Amino acid sequence: MSKITIPLGPQHPALKEPENFMLVLEGEQIENATINLGYNHRGMEKAAEERTFLQNLYLIERVCGICSHSHTTCYVTNVEEAAKAEVPERALAIRTLIGELERVHSHLLWIGVAGYEMGFETLFMYTWRDREQVLDCLEMLSGNRVHYSINTIGGVRRDVTAEQKVEVLKRIGNLEERTQYYIKVALEEPTIRARTANVGKLPYEVAIERGAVGPTTRASGVKRDVRKDDPYLLYDKLDFSLITHDTCDVFGRLVVRALELVESYKLIRQILNYLPEGPIAVKVPPRIAPAEVLNRYEAPRGEDIHYLKTNGTDKPERLKVRAPTLANLQSVAYMLEGGWLADVPLVIAAIDPCMSCTDRAIVYDRKTDKKQVYDWEDLRKLGIEAYKRKGVDFRKL
Q: Which residues bind other proteins (CB under 8 A)?
A: 1, 4-7, 12-14, 25, 28, 115-123, 125-126, 129, 189, 191-192, 194-195, 340-345
Give the number of other CB atoms < 10 A from CB of residue 371.
Answer: 9
User: Which CB sits closer to other proteins, 67 or 118?
Assistant: 118
Residues contacting residue 288 through CB under 8 Å, at least 6 positions apart? 53, 79, 82, 83, 310, 312, 314
Distance from C-alpha of 209 to C-alpha of 175, rounded to nearest angstrom = 36
Distance from C-alpha of 220 to C-alpha of 229, rounded to nearest angstrom = 17
Summarize the chain as % helix, strand, coil (round to 5): 50, 15, 35
Q: How far is the CB of 369 from other proteins (least distance, A)?
A: 37
Element (H, E) at 151: strand 151-152
User: Which CB sits closer to other proteins, 286 or 338?
Assistant: 338
Secondary structure, 3-state, 89-140: HHHHHHHHHHHHHHHHHHHHHHHHHHHHHCCCHHHHHHHHHHHHHHHHHHHH
Backbone angles phi, psi at 248, to 5 degrees: 60, 20
User: Which CB sits closer to other proteins, 1 or 362?
Assistant: 1
Q: How far is the CB of 175 from other proteins (least distance, A)?
A: 16
User: Which CB sits closer to other proteins, 195 or 218?
Assistant: 195
User: Which CB sits closer to other proteins, 51 or 178?
Assistant: 178
Q: In the Cβ-directed half-sphere of 155, how many Cα atoms lie within 13 Å?
A: 16
User: Which CB sits closer to other proteins, 86 or 188?
Assistant: 188
Give the number of other CB atoms < 10 A from CB of residue 372.
Answer: 11
Task: Give the type of residue at 60.
Answer: I
User: Which CB sits closer to other proteins, 127 or 149?
Assistant: 127
Length of the chain: 397
User: Which CB sits closer to other proteins, 186 or 222?
Assistant: 186
Distance from C-alpha of 118 to C-alpha of 112, rounded to nearest angstrom = 10
The answer, yes or no, to whether the previous bond of 231 is cis (omega within 30 of 0) is no
Contact 79, 153 (CB under 8 A): yes
